[in-house]
């Protein structure tokens, strides 16, 4: 991990197309501005971690779960 110290108004550049600038420092918080192409996905760490967890959970399904869903769909069609 690279650790940098930046002052208000200073920034860092990542690759050729991402710039991060320190916008405000107040109390224990730091506000940053990110200048990046629109096609770059930018997430807060806690959101990214949640997405990754949900993706892992979705990939670990069991065939019995699929059978239950199929049964529910079949029951729903018979009621109509």
Residues 6+ apart with CB under 8 A from 25: 8, 31
pLDDT in tens, 26-57: 999 999 999 999 999 999 999 999 999 999 98
Looking at residue 26, its pLDDT comes to 94
Residues in the chain, total: 80
Q: Which residue has the higher pLDDT, 74 or 35?
A: 35
Structure tokens at 57: 């959970």
Residues 6+ apart with CB under 8 A from 13: 19, 20
Is the model's pTM score more than 0.75?
A: no
Looking at residue 68, its pLDDT comes to 82
């Amino acid at each position: 991990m690279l650790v940098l110290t930046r002052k208000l108004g200073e920034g860092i550049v990542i690759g050729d197309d991402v710039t991060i600038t320190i916008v405000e420092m107040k109390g224990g918080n730091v506000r940053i501005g990110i200048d990046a192409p629109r096609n770059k996905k930018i997430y807060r760490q806690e959101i990214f971690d949640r997405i990754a967890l949900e993706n892992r959970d979705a990939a670990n399904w069991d065939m019995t779960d699929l059978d239950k869903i199929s049964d529910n769909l079949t029951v729903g069609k018979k009621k109509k």
